[in-house]
Structure 1
Amino acid sequence: MRLFGYARVSTSQQSLDIQVKALKEAGVKANRIFTDKVSGSSTNRKGLDLLRMKVEEGDVILVKKLDRLGRDTADMIQLIKEFDAQGVAVRFIDDGICTDGEMGQMVVTILSAVAQAERRRIMERTSEGRQEAKLKGVRFGRRRTIDRNSVLALHREGTGATDIARQLSIARSTVYKILEDENSLSTCRANP
């Protein structure tokens, strides 16, 4: 029996250190730890693909937490079935779960469904929070770095869009967008 490890974080800004350390402490050799820095919902997981090619019957894959292997129930079950068909067990260190036998697979199915439901609740709460913030006037997205008043002042002086864009080091399309927005506002003010 050989031990392999798999660790994944959702973005390149997150660290794999805690997961890799746990895998090493559990006895996995460094050269048998496969990692990905990508969302679990992504189909492009090179570390997982390489792990799939390396494992053989009788091997065990260690993963720190259930949600690190897959993002949703279907993906998790598909991976576990795939490994099971190869005779490879998956053990989740923090959750104390192993896919050996029918009972282990049943527990994994239930827990992954619960994890998926929790992610949905988090997404719903986040969405509700954003909607509430928008109603309170909070603006999302990148802060404007262009001085709209400068664009409008230059335009009023008779400067053309191309020259305004050059003087302010912005795209000409941005100048047109600001002028268009201002015209729309003026029309709204004139026709209440």
Structure 2
Amino acid sequence: MALLGYARVSTNQQDLTIQKDRLIKEGVKNSSDFLFMDKASGKDDNREGLQLLLTKAREGDTILVTKLDRLGRNTVDMISIIDQLHKRGISVRFLDDGISTEGSMGKMVVTILAAVAQAERERILERTHEGRRAAIANGIKMGRKPSITDKTKAQVLKLAQDGIPKTKIAKDLKLSRQSVYDVLKSS
């Protein structure tokens, strides 16, 4: 019966230290055989650390995770992972939420909390989309700024008419060769 830990952050810029330290404090050994980590979006089905954890975990083991949303990408995924582990005799404890999947009450609570977490993520997405729509309505341009301005297009055309090689045009104007070809093709 081993105590295993799982930590995840969504991007490479984020730090796993707080989650890792918490899991170690709770008794997980600071070893790659017991502590599994990912720097990947929860939407990613192929998280290496999670897959290793699911492979390593054995009947009677307990998996510690700091928060519900660190384990699964949505309610269905969370329930699937928990159900898969439960069928194998492996329990999961969520430290910040103070709950465990041990027993029928624990599994019911996890299902409810996972639904709440998914609803919260959907509200965040909804607010983000509302903010984006409001910004567009107020004249704010979304997305990358165009790399090729009308002035740059004119420069590309003039240099090409002067017989300058396309590679040199791209280098001189700090454009990709494909951008140069796209400008020439569209004129």
* Length-normalised TM-score, structure 2: 0.85
Cα deviation, 1:124-182, whole Å, max 9, x if unaligned, reads 1101111111122222233345554143256368546837445424245434655788x
Structure 2 residue runs of 5 or longer lacking an equivalent are none
Q: 1:69 to 1:179 in 2, by over 3 A?
A: same
> Structure 1: which amino acid aligns with 2:22?
A
CA distance in 2 between partners of 1:16 and 1:166 (Å): 41
- Please report the RMSD computed on the Cα atoms of aligned residues, expressed in angstroms: 2.3
Q: What's the offset of the Cα at 1:55? A: 1.4
Residue pair 1:152, 1:179 contacting (<8 A) in 2 also? no
Please name the residue that 2:39 is paired with.
37
**Percentage of matched positions with identical amino acids:** 52
Q: Quick one: distance in 2 between partners of 1:153 and 1:36?
A: 47
> Any conservation in 1 of the 2:156–2:183 contact (CA below 8 Å)?
no
Unaligned runs of 5+ in 1: 184-192
Tell me which structure has the larger Cα radius of gyration. 1
Q: How many residues align?
A: 182
Deviates more, 1:57-66 or 1:41-50: 41-50
User: Could you tell me how far apart the structure 1 residues matched to 2:180 and 2:92 are?
Assistant: 57
Where do 1:98-117 residues align within 5 Å?
Answer: 98-117=100-119
**Structure 2 equivalent of residue 149 of structure 1:** 151
Greater helix fraction, Structure 1 or Structure 2: 1
Task: Tell me how far apart the structure 2 counterparts of residues 123 and 81 of structure 1 sit (CA, whole Å).
Answer: 27
In structure 2, how many angstroms separate the alpha carbons of the residues matched to 1:52 and 1:172?
47
Deviations 1:34-75 (A, max 9, x none): 011111121111111111121111111000001000021111
Quick check: 1:119 aligned with 2:124?
A: no
